[in-house]
């Protein structure tokens, strides 16, 4: 995500590194690279202009030019401006205390509206709320079916009328049904088009007027750039938007839409979609995103990712085993297998401060091969050996190596690593680890 923008900004900072004090000329050269990176990321020109105006004013001030670490100063200034451009934080759904809260999703076709219905449903279910979904996209033939599938996968009701032609009536009937059945939230999945057109806007305005949604969210494809700005402007003119859901930020989004959309709509980015699965929706945090763009890592997201991989119960079991010293090579293998999922190590590295540089190495064939070797070696051991690696003498080592198709030193190395790791894990899982875990979960 944002690789070229991140690389561009890094090269701007690097251009200043090693220079104790700066001349205005040096700084202007660095700023030019910042500007160029934003334009190449397809950020809207007016946003770039404002962004650079603010950044330049601060960066060319005497305090920065005379500071001992001008490079760090520029990073901080760009970080603050990114947070300002992306903010504010507001992922509240603002549910009403009485009657159903109606959330209307709108956006271009393919932006991810229907998928976002499922993701919001999952989020609400985590708060013990069962929403009712309304299939008001009567344009895309498969949309109604897609929503029904999502409803049955997640176990929530879907109101759909296959032969109806009027989306307003479908929405009204859906809201009525939610009122009757006591659903606290209704999510309207409205129609999109490949491009903005008057008919679509008229339809959405009519739904807005006659159904009166409490929250109107624009779903924007994060892979787009300036185009997103134009369409967001049109939606914003037609409807009173309350927030934006930015999707597909897991792909190779360049950053254009993300950095431009708040200026055009004036409403906060509420959530971001980071995958096709229902749990791939995160509250949007400008600070975390600015850190990721600047490759400073995002510890909160890393902790969330770690918790997604190992569930609560498994974690408790592992902690108990570590504390009592029962943690075995089998447990080690299970952990390795979880981490060895394609792309996961790289993703985790990308989220850790300062680890971004190892991202590619972790995603490489070689890293995957090493993990597979470790797993293969453990598989070649007997249950007793896995429980107590001290049993593994030279004869056993040769047998295991042969079984796993590796050289014997690989086994020696693995046991050594495990020996070093075990007391460390034991210590970590002792007193205070609960607090640490709780802290990570926040
Ligand atoms: P709609 O026409 O606006 O309802 O769009 P859909 O919900 O059908 O989504 C269009 C495509 O984008 C589908 O293939 C989705 O799986 C995919 N999609 C939606 N959100 C995300 C996301 O956050 N990440 C990724 N990678 N794909 C997404």
pLDDT in tens, 103-156: 999 999 999 999 999 999 999 999 999 999 999 999 887 999 999 999 999 999
Q: What is the pLDDT of residue 186?
A: 98
Is residue 133 located within the same domain as residue 236? Answer: yes
> Which CATH number fits the domain that encloses residue 246?
3.40.50.300
Q: How far is the CA of 112 from the centre of ligand 1 (A)?
A: 4
Q: What is the pTM of this model?
A: 0.74
Residue 205 lies in a domain: yes
Q: Which residue has the higher pLDDT, 370 or 210?
A: 210
Is residue 159 located within the same domain as residue 52? Answer: no
Last residue of a domain, which of 23, 58, 86? 86
Q: How far is the CA of 199 from the centre of ligand 1 (A)?
A: 23
Q: How far is the CA of 258 from the centre of ligand 1 (A)?
A: 16
pLDDT-based confidence at residue 426 (cuts at 50, 70, 90)? low
Query: Is there an atom of ligand 1 within 6 Å of 109 CB?
Result: yes
Q: How far is the CA of 248 from the centre of ligand 1 (A)?
A: 7
Q: What is the pLDDT of residue 353?
A: 64
Residue 39 in this model has a pLDDT that exceeds 80: yes
Residue 428 lies in a domain: yes
Instruction: Compute the distance between CA of residue 134 and CA of residue 213 in angstroms, rounded to an integer.
Output: 12
Residue 428 in this model has a pLDDT that exceeds 60: no
Query: Is there an atom of ligand 1 within 6 Å of 295 CB?
Result: no
pLDDT-based confidence at residue 427 (cuts at 50, 70, 90)? low
What average pLDDT does range 411-434 have in this prediction? Answer: 67
Nearest-atom number in ligand 1 for the CA of 115 is 7
Instruction: Compute the distance between CA of residue 244 and CA of residue 350 in angstroms, rounded to an integer.
Output: 25
Residue 277 lies in a domain: yes
What average pLDDT does range 327-346 have in this prediction? Answer: 79
Last residue of a domain, which of 86, 117, 135? 86
Q: What is the pLDDT of residue 437?
A: 38
Is residue 284 located within the same domain as residue 316? Answer: no
Please, which residues bridge with residue 218 across strands?
106, 244
Residue 307 in this model has a pLDDT that exceeds 60: yes
Is residue 321 located within the same domain as residue 410? Answer: yes
Is residue 282 located within the same domain as residue 238? Answer: yes
158-159 vs 185-190, strand pairing mode: unpaired
Q: Which residue has the higher pLDDT, 66 or 392?
A: 392
Percent of the chain scoring above 70 in pLDDT: 90
Last residue of a domain, which of 279, 296, 313? 296
Residue 40 in this model has a pLDDT that exceeds 90: yes
Which residue has its alpha carbon closest to ligand 1 atom 2?
Answer: 110
Instruction: Compute the distance between CA of residue 47 and CA of residue 24 in angstroms, rounded to an integer.
Output: 24
Q: Which residue has the higher pLDDT, 343 or 383?
A: 383
Residue 95 lies in a domain: no
Residue 261 lies in a domain: yes
> Which CATH number fits the domain that encloses residue 323?
1.10.260.30
Provide the token pair at 94: 């603002």
Q: What is the pLDDT of residue 204?
A: 96
Nearest to 88 by CA among 221, 219, 244: 244
Number of domains in the chain: 3
Is residue 182 located within the same domain as residue 258? Answer: yes
Ligand 1 pocket: which of 139, 276, 280 to mutate (most atoms within 8 A of CB) = 276
Is residue 368 located within the same domain as residue 227? Answer: no
- Whether 186 contacts 101, CB under 8 Å: yes
Q: How far is the CA of 251 from the centre of ligand 1 (A)?
A: 11
Domain ranges, residue 106: 101-296
Residue 92 lies in a domain: no
Query: Is there an atom of ligand 1 within 6 Å of 139 CB?
Result: no
Residue 429 in this model has a pLDDT that exceeds 60: no
Query: Is there an atom of ligand 1 within 6 Å of 273 CB?
Result: yes
Residue 433 in this model has a pLDDT that exceeds 60: no
Is residue 150 located within the same domain as residue 221? Answer: yes
pLDDT per position as a tens digit, 365-400: 777 777 788 888 999 999 999 999 999 999 999 999
Q: How far is the CA of 91 from the centre of ligand 1 (A)?
A: 20
Grouping H, G, I as helix, E, B as strand and the rest as coil, residue 142 is: coil
Is residue 285 located within the same domain as residue 327? Answer: no
Q: How far is the CA of 186 from the centre of ligand 1 (A)?
A: 20
Is residue 375 located within the same domain as residue 282? Answer: no
Is residue 150 located within the same domain as residue 269? Answer: yes
Query: Is there an atom of ligand 1 within 6 Å of 190 CB?
Result: no
Residue 361 in this model has a pLDDT that exceeds 90: no
What average pLDDT does range 407-418 have in this prediction? Answer: 88
Is residue 336 located within the same domain as residue 431? Answer: yes
Q: What is the pLDDT of residue 375?
A: 87
pLDDT per position as a tens digit, 250-294: 887 889 999 999 999 999 999 999 999 999 999 999 998 998 898
Q: What is the pLDDT of residue 354?
A: 62
The owner of tokens 């690989």 is 410
Q: What is the pLDDT of residue 151?
A: 98
Query: Is there an atom of ligand 1 within 6 Å of 30 CB?
Result: no
Q: Which residue has the higher pLDDT, 353 or 28?
A: 28
Q: Which residue has the higher pLDDT, 331 or 48?
A: 48
Q: How far is the CA of 98 from the centre of ligand 1 (A)?
A: 32
Residue 435 in this model has a pLDDT that exceeds 60: no
The secondary structure of 357-426, three-state, reads: HHHHHHHCHHHHHHHHHHHHHHHCCCHHHHHCHHHCCHHHHHHHHHHHCCCHHHHHHHHHHHHHHHHHHH
């Amino acid at each position: 995500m944002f690789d070229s923008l991140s690389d561009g900004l890094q090269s701007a900072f690097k251009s200043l590194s090693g220079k104790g004090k700066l001349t205005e000329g040096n700084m202007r050269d660095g700023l030019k690279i910042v500007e160029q990176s934003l334009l190449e990321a397809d950020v809207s020109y007016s946003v770039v202009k404002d962004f650079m105006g603010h950044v330049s004013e601060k960066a060319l001030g005497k305090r920065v030019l005379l500071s001992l670490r001008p490079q760090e100063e520029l990073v901080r200034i760009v970080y603050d401006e990114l947070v300002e451009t992306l903010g504010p934080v507001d992922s509240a759904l603002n549910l009403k205390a009485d009657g159903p809260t109606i959330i209307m999703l709108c956006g271009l076709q393919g932006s991810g509206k229907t998928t976002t219905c499922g993701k919001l449903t999952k989020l609400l279910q985590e708060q013990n709320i069962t929403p009712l979904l309304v299939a008001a996209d009567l344009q895309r033939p498969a949309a109604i079916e897609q929503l029904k599938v999502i409803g049955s996968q997640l176990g929530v009701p879907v109101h759909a009328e296959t032969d109806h032609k009027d989306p307003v009536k479908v929405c009204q009937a859906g809201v009525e049904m939610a009122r009757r059945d006591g659903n606290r939230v209704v999510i309207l999945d409205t129609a999109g088009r490949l491009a903005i057109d008057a008919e679509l806007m008229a339809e959405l305005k009519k739904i807005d007027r006659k159904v009166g949604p409490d929250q109107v969210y624009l779903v924007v494809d994060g892979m787009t750039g300036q185009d997103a700005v134009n369409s967001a402007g049109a939606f914003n003119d037609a409807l009173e938007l309350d927030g934006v859901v930015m999707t597909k930020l897991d792909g190779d989004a360049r950053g254009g839409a993300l950095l431009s959309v708040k200026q055009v709509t004036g409403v906060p980015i509420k959530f971001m979609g980071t995958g096709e699965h229902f749990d791939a929706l995160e509250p949007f945090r400008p600070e975390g995103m600015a850190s990721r763009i600047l490759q400073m890592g995002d510890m909160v997201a890393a902790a969330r990712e770690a918790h997604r991989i190992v569930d609560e119960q498994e974690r408790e079991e592992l902690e108990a085993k570590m504390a009592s010293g029962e943690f075995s090579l089998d447990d080690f293998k299970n952990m390795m297998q979880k981490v060895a999922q394609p792309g996961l190590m790289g993703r985790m590295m990308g989220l850790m401060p300062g680890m971004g540089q190892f991202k590619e190495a972790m995603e490489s064939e070689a890293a995957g091969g090493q993990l597979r070797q470790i797993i293969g070696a453990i598989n070649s051991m007997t249950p007793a050996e896995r429980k107590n690696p001290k049993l593994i003498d030279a004869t056993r080592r040769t047998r295991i190596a042969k079984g796993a198709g590796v050289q014997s030193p690989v086994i020696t190395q693995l046991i050594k690593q495990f020996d070093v790791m075990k007391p460390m894990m034991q210590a970590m899982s002792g007193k205070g680890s609960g607090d640490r875990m709780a802290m990570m979960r926040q």
